[in-house]
Structures are given as structure tokens and as C-alpha cells.
Structure 1
């Protein structure tokens, strides 16, 4: 095993897994920090000594601290959404410090604030603050909503419904987040104590998204605005917990608020290529 000083959390997920694969392609040794190391055991064995794996569970910060021992840098993909996500992430920041990690690259969210409309953005704000207080070197990748998820929000009758009004969202492709993370991890110079807001090339309304989906797929899509009461009622059948319902609704109300409409050039600046559009994502570019 090569000497490993870099750890990747969420290495079986879409962001962490893609970053890990790209690092492996470049021959960069790293540790896969995953809930179940046995799931990646065969991959580690076939990686010619570039990879090792250790248990990483946000619900077990003591165990996580042991697993991160000896690492200099950790790519910290935010925890899965849960009722105690904030407490888990704050405990993980403490675990990073106890493990002696010097630098963290954290997947945060656009416009984090204690009173952000999107409820989960408040947790990202608290986590950023904890990382700063801990004295860690950091780079925050503040991702807007993922362009990739909006097709999943479309119902079986090809309607995009939600209380987003005519607000705009500068959503970003997951692939661009991966590219940005890779750039920062491979060359940390100039990215110390920096925060980047990762967006797509334009801010779209949901009506515009539906029209793009129609054009690309050849199937009619439309956007149907909902009131908060209608949105709450239409999702009640899933029997969500209160925190889940508020998170779902605030996905749309955050768009309506205008908080997520700012377009930046951070993807271009970090990766050297323009950000992917919704058309690119739909076509698999």
C-alpha cells in the first residue's frame, strides 16, 4: 500500500465515488472512508496498492477519528439527510481534529446561512462555522442544487410540481462538482480558506426546465406551480417526518426566494471548462 494521506468519505456514493475513481485513474493513493468496507474490499484488492478502506459512519465519530488517523486531507461529503444531521456533522468536525487531519474539502451548499430558506443549508452553515472554529485548513465547495435531480422531480405524467413560483435556480451538474473537487484536491495551492459557489451556466425557472426537457426528450413536460398548502398535501401520502417535509418544501421555496439564482464562474475557474447545462445533463454529456 502506498503511503496514504488523503481520505475520501462517501466513496460508494455519486460524488465521493466519482472523485475516488478519478483519483485512482491518476495513480493518487487514498483511503476510502465508507460505512461498510467489505463493500469495496474487492475493488481495494484490485487497485495495485493505491487504495485502502476504513469504516466511516457519521453516527460513530470516535470510530471515524480512528479511521482517519494519519490522514492529512479529507474530502468530506456531507452526511445523508436525517433528523440529527447537524449533530452528526458537528461531531465529525471534532473527529477530524482529534484524528490530526490538517485540511478538509467540504461539500457545502450555495448561500449557507442560519436563516436560509432551504432548511438543510442551515446545517451546512453550522458545519462551515465549526470547521473554521476548529482551525482546520479548508476549502468549501458550495454546490447549488444538482441539475441531475430535477428530472427525478418530474411525476409520471411529466409534470414538475412545487411551490417555486417563477424563481430561478443556478443548478449545477454533479459532474462539474466532481471536476471541481478533483482540481482542489490535486493542487491545493491558492485554495486555502476559500469558498467556491458551484453553479451551472444560467439560472432557470422550473418552467424553463420543463421546456428544455420537452425539447431534449421529445415528450411534453410542463411546470405546475403549487401553493405551500397544495405541496404539503400532495406529498403527505409519503408520510414523511416533519423535518423531511420541510426539507422537501424548502427545496422549492428556496428557489422562489431568489437565494439560489446567482450564477458564478467558479466551475470554469477551477476546472478550466465551462459548466454543463441542463441540456448537457439530459443528453448524458
Structure 2
């Protein structure tokens, strides 16, 4: 740990080869803070003079425990979607506890609950509960669906399709969620044992989203309303397991059910500015 000369808590960041984690790592480095960057494949991680890169996995192994030693506050970016994600999370949290990590900052999901319509939201609810069960200090970041997700689907396919009906989603910019996570790591004592809801500045229907995209780009994008059966059928062109189809379709049924609506001011509380709008994220 002699490479880490932080004043105060030692920062650990998982997911540094992914979109969210890499942006957090960049912000922390730009703020002059040293950190431990954790990755399954360290060779893919961007090298910073201020960071020590360590190999880890989402499992309770000796290697993972060793990689987490000396870290006080840890950004835990949720593991890749898979049927065993909750077990992976629990194993990793057990390792963090054994290593002496004190504070977990976890990227959860807006409205996480055991009976949420969006199937993957249930994984987050179980993970949140386990973080608290183990007695960590925590900051839960409940990100809504990303604006970037809907934007990129439309840009790639010329349309968004699904059974969202006229439901609305307060979709958030990924950069905002990363900026919040970085701010928490830099000022952890201000945000201990709190859950933050991270949303965009407006509730948008799928029709609203494609209109904003059309107006901003000059291209014509459409929203195609599907029923549930049509939604499963249209997604069969992408080979996947049943749980993945359930997740894809329930993205839209969760919006239809009103579970992804609502505006939070938590991004403004943390960052001191309004969240990025979809219009400004294209």
C-alpha cells in the first residue's frame, strides 16, 4: 500500500474497464486523488500515475480479498447481467468485509424491490439488503434507466419498440451517475448511510424520446408500440436465454407500469447543478 498516499480514506473503484467505472476513475484522478483500480482484466484498464491496478473478480476468493485490502471506501459497480449476479455480489461483499472495507458505494437501480416489474431490479434489491446485513457504511445510488440506452437503440435501429404504452421514464445520463459516484468517493463522510435516486430532469414517454432525437438530429425516429407477445417475438432475432428476454421486455413493461417515473433532486444535491437532459445528451 505504499503507492497509496491519500490523505484520508483509501478509494477503490471496480468496473474501471467499463463505461461508468472508467469515467469515475478519470474524475477521481483529475481531482488529484490516488486510488486502487480493480478489474477482471487489468491489462484493459487505463493507466493513471495516481492509480494502482489490481486484479479481482466478483467472488469470495483469496485473490479478491487480497486485492481489496487497504481500501476504505469502495465503488461497487454492479456485475454484468447474468442469472447468478446476486450470488456474485454476495461473494464479493463477503470478500470486502473480510478485507476490512468500511464503506460501499453501490450502483443500484431506481425503484429496486423484490417485486419490481423490471426483473433485474430485483437483483439490486437483494444486493442492497446484503450490504446492510453485513454492516457496511453505505451509499446506494439508484440509477434510473440511462438516456444513453434509449438513445443508442434508436440511433442503431431507427426506432424504439416495446410494450411501454404511454408510460414515462425519468431517464438519466450515464455521465451524471458517474459524476455523482465520483463525488461520493471524494466526500464519503457527507453521504454515509443514504440512498440517492438518480434521475434525469424530465419524465419522458417513448414517443417523447424519439421526438427529441428526431428534432435534434434531423433524422426521423419512430416509437413502435408492441404488446408483450410481439415484444418477445421481435427480440428473438438476438439469440439469448429466457432470463435475458424477460429483462429486455420488462424494461418497457416497467415504464408502462409507472415504476420508472418520478423526478428526484438528488443529482442537484450532490453536484450542485441540474441533471443533463436527453436533448443535451445526443
Structure 1-normalised TM-score? 0.94
Residues of 1 paired with 2:236 and 2:62: CA distance? 37
Q: 1:13 and 2:15 equivalent?
A: no
- Say yes or no: does 1:151 pair with 2:151: yes
- List aligned pairs for 1:230-269, cutoff 5 A: 230-269=230-269
CA contact (8 A) 1:154 1:161 kept: no
2:281 maps to 1:281 = yes
- RMSD after superposition: 1.4
Deviation at 1:38? 2.4
Deviations 1:98-149 (A, max 9, x none): 1110001110000010001111110000000000000000000100001011
1:155-199 superposed Cα distances (whole Å, 9 cap, x missing partner) = 755121001111000010011111111221111233111000000
Equivalent-residue separation in structure 1 for 2:219 and 2:245 (angstroms): 30
The alpha-carbon deviation at position 59 of structure 1 amounts to 4.4
Structure 2: gaps (5+ residues): none
In structure 1, C-alpha distance between the alignment counterparts of 2:245 and 2:44, rounded to whole Å: 31
Partner SS, residue 263 of structure 2: coil
Q: 2:60 touches 2:94 (CA, 8 Å); kept in 1? A: no
| 1:2 has 2:35 as partner | no
Report if aligned partners of 1:214, 1:220 keep a CA contact under 8 Å in 2: yes
Which residue of structure 2 lines up, in the alignment, with residue 38 of structure 1?
A: 43
Q: Which whole-Å CA distance do the structure 2 matches of 1:175 and 1:35 have between them? A: 23
The DSSP-based 3-state class of the residue aligned with 2:80 is: coil
Select between 182-191 and 53-62 the one with higher mean Cα deviation: 53-62
Change (3 A) 1:163 1:61: farther
Residue 63 of structure 1 deviates from its aligned partner by: 2.2
The alignment partner of 2:172 has SS state of coil
Q: What is the CA–CA distance in structure 1 between the aligned matches of 2:38 and 2:159, rounded to whole Å?
A: 38
2-structure distance, mates of 1:52, 1:188: 20
**What is the rounded CA distance, in whole Å, between the counterparts of 1:174 and 1:110 in structure 2?**
13
Which aligned segments of 4 or more residues in structure 1 are displaced greater than 4 angstroms? none
Counterparts of 2:23 and 2:272 in 1: how far apart (Å)? 18
Q: Structure 1 residues 67, 253: closer, same or farther in 2, change over 3 A?
A: same
Give the conservation status (yes or no) of the 8 Å contact 2:170–2:203: yes
1:103-252 to 2 correspondence within 5 Å? 103-154=103-154, 158-252=158-252
In the TM superposition, residue 92 of structure 1 has moved relative to its aligned partner by: 1.2
The 3-state SS of whatever aligns with 1:114 is coil
User: Following TM superposition, by how much is the alpha carbon of 1:27 offset from its aligned partner in structure 2, in angstroms?
Assistant: 1.1
Quick one: distance in 1 between partners of 2:271 and 2:182?
Answer: 9
Query: Does the CA-based 8 Å contact 1:142-1:195 persist in structure 2?
Result: yes
How far off its partner does 1:61 sit? 4.1
Please give the per-residue CA displacement for 1:264-285, whole angstroms capped at 9, x wherever unaligned. 1111111001001110101xxx
Number of aligned residues:
277
Query: Given the superposition, is the C-alpha separation of residues 157 and 43 from structure 1 closer, same or farther in structure 2, using an over 3 Å criterion?
Result: closer
**Cα distance in 1 for residues equivalent to 2:213 and 2:58:** 37
Residue 81 of structure 2 corresponds to which residue in structure 1? 81
Give yes or no for the alignment of 1:23 onto 2:28.
yes
